[in-house]
Amino acid sequence: MGWLWAIIVGFVLGLIAKAVIPGKQHSPLWLTTICGILGAIVGNAVARGVGVEETPGIDWSRHIFQLVAAVIIVFLADMAYMNLVGRKRQRV
């Protein structure tokens, strides 16, 4: 069941990250979901490194770290995806 939650959280984080980033993103939904999953993993690691462990109730600070990491990863992945797709289109 853990992998299902990872996909759901990654999907939601990826969509929120795409909504926060200004302009249009061209990356497909599967890539956005993977970037959201990576953002959750990186955000958890950063939160642990800063000293934010599990707390009673909702871990807002951990979720903010996850979202910030997801925004950065989605932005970088979209730039890389556009460079890759742009090069393929120029060859044609």
Q: Are 73 and 16 in contact (CB under 8 A)?
A: no
Where residue 90 falls among pLDDT bands split at 50, 70, 90? low
- pLDDT surpassing 80 at residue 12: yes
Choose among 72, 69, 20: nearest CA to 48: 69
What mean pLDDT is predicted for residues 29-54? 90
Give the pTM: 0.85
Query: What are 22-39's pLDDT values in tens digits?
Result: 988 888 999 999 999 999
Q: What is the distance between the alpha carbons of residues 88 and 31, in angstroms, rounded to a whole number?
A: 18
Residue extents of the structural domains in the chain: 2-91
